[in-house]
Amino acid sequence: MGLMIPVRVTVAVGRKNVALEDVQNQKVVSALRQASRDVGMSLANAKCPVHDKGPTNVRLHFDSAGAGDLKYDSCCEKLGEMIAKLV
Ligand SMILES: [Zn+2]
């Protein structure tokens, strides 16, 4: 069992991107918070085989259709390959 990696969540509201904390609709907030938790749990198991590092500065953006776009900083493309398999 790994630790959860913190995920910063933003949501498209109209033409603006707002932090999940600033979204008014609590149903949306709890659904997206759960989704970001799932991502954070999965990413906790992602370690680069070369550098033994996980992703940092993890961001998850949901567009107005509810599709999530994951971004993060990684040490190298090997970590990106690991994450692509996990998420
Ligand atoms: Zn690496």
Which pLDDT band, with edges at 50, 70 and 90, does 87 fall under?
confident
Between the CA of 47 and the centroid of ligand 1 the distance, in Å, is 8
Query: Among candidates 24, 69, 73, which has minimal Cα distance to 48?
Result: 73
How many Cβ atoms are within 10 Å of 25's Cβ, its own excluded? Answer: 11
The Å distance, Cα 87 to ligand 1 centre, comes to: 17
**Domains of the chain: which residue ranges?**
7-86
* DSSP letter (8 states) at residue 4: P
Q: Which pLDDT does position 68 carry in this prediction?
A: 94
- For 22-69, give the DSSP string: G---HHHHHHHHHHHHHHHHHHHT---TTT----EEEEEEE-TT--EE
Dist. CA 77 → ligand 1 center (Å): 7
**Residue 19: pLDDT above 70?**
yes
Mind listing the pLDDT tens digit for each residue in 25-36?
999 999 999 999
